[in-house]
Amino acid sequence: MRKKSSKSIDELRPEYDFRAMRVVARGPARKSPKETTVLLEPDVAETFPDSPAVNEALRFLIRVTKGQRQQSAEQKTHRG
């Protein structure tokens, strides 16, 4: 049998440079390829504790703006 090396496994040759390697997340917490990641500014992130809260607020904003657009379009048709 061969004798085990006395060198530590953590010692790497100086020519090895892993800084440019891409890190791939594995396990249940990894992001799905179909998910979109959005970075919130710290002041906005304080208001929304999690993704469902952000989605709820954005859906509300979408409903409000769609309602305003419909009202605006209706007003234009009644004037003309």
pLDDT digits (tens, 9 = 90+) for 40-76: 999 999 999 999 999 999 999 999 999 888 777 777 7
With the CA atoms of 41, 44, 46 and 47 taken in that order, what torsion angle do they form, in degrees rounded to the nearest 10? -160
Q: How much is the pLDDT for 18?
A: 78
**What percentage of the chain carries pLDDT values higher than 90?**
30
- Phi/psi of residue 18, each to 5°? -100, 5
User: CB pairs under 8 A, 24+ apart, for 22-27?
Assistant: none
Higher pLDDT, 58 or 5: 58
Q: How much is the pTM? A: 0.49
Contact 48, 40 (CB under 8 A): yes
**Tokens 């710290």, located at residue:** 42
Q: How much is the pLDDT for 80?
A: 60
